[in-house]
Amino acid sequence: MSLATRYLGLPLAHPIVASASPLTATLDGMRRLEDAGAAAVVMTSLYEEQIRAEDTAYARYTEHGSNSQAEAGSYFPEIPGYDSGVSGHLETLMRASEALDIPVIASLNGTTAEGWTGHARAFEQAGAAAIELNVYSVPIDFAATGAEVERRTIEIVRQVAATVRIPVSIKLVPYFSSLPHMASELVRAGAAGLVLFNRLYAPDIDLATLRVTRSLPLSTASELPLSLVWIALLSRRLGCSLAASRGVETHVEVVKYLLAGADVVTTTSALLRHGPPYLATMRDGLERWLGENGFDSVTAIRGLKDATHAEHVDALFRAQYVAALTEYLPGKLVQ
Ligand SMILES: Cc1cc2nc3c(=O)[nH]c(=O)nc-3n(C[C@H](O)[C@H](O)[C@H](O)COP(=O)(O)O)c2cc1C
């Protein structure tokens, strides 16, 4: 039985990857995931807000220094606590990349061109096996068209891919008018892989306090279909790796994503819910399912149910209600 796969050109022992989360924020956390059997880990994202906050603190410090010392221009000060921000993140990445045998993928959520490329280069220097660009920002400018938002994203990918030599993947949200076109433009811009899809904060209003709240509830398998359909539609149609993300509760969802055409399946909620050792439970479940169903490898099932197979096209493309509605016809319900 071979569970081996490739993702972003990296050979992996099996297809289950721990996605970015608080579990991958520290060296200890990433080591625990490796010990539990993760094929690769994606480190918690470095957010540009985090970078800016630190730069502001840094600028305040250096400005203070240059005012008081004429020679301060080239002086790089020792800043107490500086290590907890960007440099702390890079330090953790560097130590994890050295210490772990599995690939450590760095993740970046920038907001400016310099933020993206500068930090991507730093990730590469710190030893990241690949970089995942977490490209979501809420477009709140009423004058910005969808095409402009897409162009900006594509330009970021082009610049980052031209800056580093390690593979770059793009973690997307599903909100594009034409995802196939956007996906192929991202690949043309240098993306080696796409991650479908990220989950976002869920703002709400607390009626008791009338405060706007935000939380990130853990996912369930009910979130699977959106990513599943798009993995199946894009599978083998783009020259890049596909990582499935969202709604993996057990090995069952892992198998479904592989059948749809994913190269790897990423998971966060299940690991937060059950702890890192659950990774091995999912991997063993995948192996068992393959054996029980007469398959000898992950490769044997990848894409078996993707949209390149004519018999599945109708179910995947016509994701409409006609067929499903008939299930709910009164005669059928009273059975
Ligand atoms: C508490 C929490 C923190 C997360 N932090 C990040 C992050 O830093 N960067 C990122 O790209 N995704 C982050 N995610 C999203 C996960 O990586 C993952 O894509 C998402 O939860 C969907 O997978 P799941 O259904 O298996 O949870 C976070 C998710 C959770 C629940």
**Residue 285 C-alpha to ligand 1 middle, in angstroms?**
23
Residues near ligand 1 with C-beta < 6 Å? 19-22, 44-45, 107, 134, 171, 198-199, 216, 219, 245-248, 267-269
Q: Which protein residue's CA is at the shortest distance from atom 10 of ligand 1? A: 20
Asked if 207 contacts 213 with a C-beta cutoff of 8 angstroms, the reply is no
Best residue for ligand 1 mutational test, from 168, 196, 198 (most atoms within 8 Å of Cβ): 198
Q: Whole-prediction pTM value?
A: 0.88
What distance separates the 2 farthest-apart alpha carbons in the chain? 87
Could you identify the atom of ligand 1 that is nearest to the CA of residue 219? 25
Per-residue pLDDT 10s for the chain (335 aa) are: 999 999 999 999 999 999 999 999 999 999 999 999 999 999 999 987 666 665 555 444 433 333 333 333 222 233 333 345 888 999 999 999 999 999 999 999 887 778 889 999 999 999 999 999 998 878 889 999 999 999 999 999 999 999 999 999 999 999 999 999 999 999 999 999 999 999 887 889 999 999 999 888 899 999 999 999 999 999 999 999 999 999 999 999 999 999 999 999 999 999 999 999 999 999 999 999 999 999 999 999 999 999 888 777 777 776 556 666 666 666 665 44
Q: How does strand 5-7 pair with strand 10-12?
A: antiparallel
Looking at residue 299, what is its pLDDT?
98
Q: Give residue 174's Cα distance to chain centre.
A: 13
Looking at residue 286, what is its pLDDT?
98
Looking at residue 62, what is its pLDDT?
37
d(CA 287, CA 140) in angstroms, rounded, equals: 45
**Tokens 């990433």 correspond to what residue?**
30
Best residue for ligand 1 mutational test, from 16, 17, 21 (most atoms within 8 Å of Cβ): 21
